[in-house]
Every structure is written in structure tokens, then in C-alpha cells.
Chain A
Amino acid sequence: NAGVTQTPKFQVLKTGQSMTLQCAQDMNHNSMYWYRQDPGMGLRLIYYSASEGTTDKGEVPNGYNVSRLNKREFSLRLESAAPSQTSVYFCASSRGTALMNTEAFFGQGTRLTVV
């Protein structure tokens, strides 16, 4: 049982380049989330998807887009990367429709550097 799988684990982009971070879960969870983690700060929610076919903005959505491709997969896209997007990105999933009311499972993270 792989849980939540993110790819890639590491990525270096030049300013202005685009890329998509992939996330897949095999636990049949309804909800999926994208967070970013920066030094000295707590994880901040970028986007979430409460169910297949729905997505909503979180706390820091600017510069990102998401796609809930199916129940398993939730991707995060950076259309024009900026140095401020250098961060560690985490995908998470949970069975219920609220992150805290049911246990959330996190992927291993994607460390992104924009130069």
C-alpha cells in the first residue's frame, strides 16, 4: 500500500518555466490537498479538492493551478515559475471532507527550487 505518492521528489526550474507536480493516492480518499512548507513557517494550503471534480482555493493559491483528474490523482501546476515559489510541496489526502476530522496522510514532498 503506497499511500500518497508524489513526483518528482526534486526539481530545479528557471524563472518563467512551467511544470506540473503529480500526486496520487491509493486509499480511496475523497479529499486531496496541496500545501507548501517554507522555513520557519507552518504548512500553508494552496488548493484542495473535497471530491472528484471539485477544487477550491486555499490560503496561497496565486501562481498555481490544480486539476483533480480522477479520485486518485490531484496535480499542481506552476504556469510561470518565480523564485518566491521555491519551497517544499506536500500533497495530502483524507477520507472525509475536512482535513482534521479524519486522519490526513501526506506524501513525501517535492523540493522545488526556482532560479
Chain B
Amino acid sequence: KNQVEQSPQSLIILEGKNCTLQCNYTVSPFSNLRWYKQDTGRGPVSLTIMTFSENTKSNGRYTATLDADTKQSSLHITASQLSDSASYICVVMGKTSYDKVIFGPGTSLSVIP
């Protein structure tokens, strides 16, 4: 069973618009959650990290939220740019051991002019 699920699978938006990506997880016990951006043909790059006690974290136009009670996180992108076109991956870490770092399948975002 996939312990980290992301929606939508893919998304197309117009340049300048906002969008929100969703991440639901069942990893337990939970330590922290990170959002990565992966450009085509490149490795993932970290955007934000939140521990279970944090509700929101911003990085420029990217704002991540976390609800540890419902086990949901979202990544909101404001005033999208063409360079935001990428895959966005939600990664959840459990309390112990490396095999509790679970990567979601990602949401593919395309920003068009």
C-alpha cells in the first residue's frame, strides 16, 4: 500500500495563476515532511521541510501547509512562472530507520504562457 499519495497526478495552469498540490500520507509515527521540486532530467531539490509541530512553511512563492491530525499536506504556488513546470514530490519520514523515508509519486505541473 502506497503510504504517500499525491494529487492531482498532473496539472496544467496558465502563467500567473495560483495552484495547490495535495499530499496525503499514512506513515506513522511521523517525524517530518518535505516537498521537493524535480525538473525534467534533473534530481530533486528540496523546497520546504516541516516537522509534525509546524503548520506552515514558506519559500518565496511556495507555501507548504501541514495538518498532522488528518495527515495531509499541501503545496501552494503563487503567481506561477514558466520555470515552475516540474514534478513536485512529497516525502514523509517516520521516526526511525532509513526505509521509513517514503517518497510520493509526484505531481507533474505544467505552466503554459
What residues of chain A have their CB less than 8 Å away from a CB belonging to chain B?
4, 33, 35, 40-45, 48, 56, 58-59, 90, 92, 98-101, 103-109
| Chain B residues in 8 Å Cβ range of A42 | 2, 4, 89, 91, 102-106
Among A33, A42, A101, A105, find the residue whose CB has the most chain B CB atoms closer than 10 A: A42
Complex alpha-carbon distance, A109 and B2, angstroms: 23
Which single residue of chain B is at the shortest CB-CB distance from A43?
B103
Closest chain A residue to B98, Cβ basis: A48
Q: Considering the complex of A and B, which 3 residue pairs feature the smallest CB-CB distances, nearest first?
A: A106-B43, A42-B103, A100-B93
Binding site for A on B (CB under 8 A): 2, 4, 31-32, 34, 41-46, 49, 89, 91, 93, 98-99, 101-106
Complex: chain B residue closest to A90, CB-CB: B43
Number of A-B contacts defined by CB within 8 Å: 58
**List of B residues within 8 angstroms of A109 by Cβ:** 41-43
Q: Is the CB of B98 within 8 A of A45?
A: yes
CB-nearest residue of chain B to A42: B103
Taking CB atoms, residues of chain A closer than 8 Å to B91 are 42, 100
CB distance from A45 to the nearest CB of B (A): 6
Report Cα–Cα, A101/B105, bound state, in Å: 21
* Known A45-B99, A108-B43; further 20 A-B contacts with Cβ < 8 A: A42-B89, A42-B103, A42-B106, A43-B103, A44-B103, A45-B98, A48-B98, A56-B98, A90-B44, A98-B98, A99-B101, A100-B32, A100-B91, A101-B93, A103-B46, A103-B49, A105-B43, A106-B45, A108-B41, A108-B42
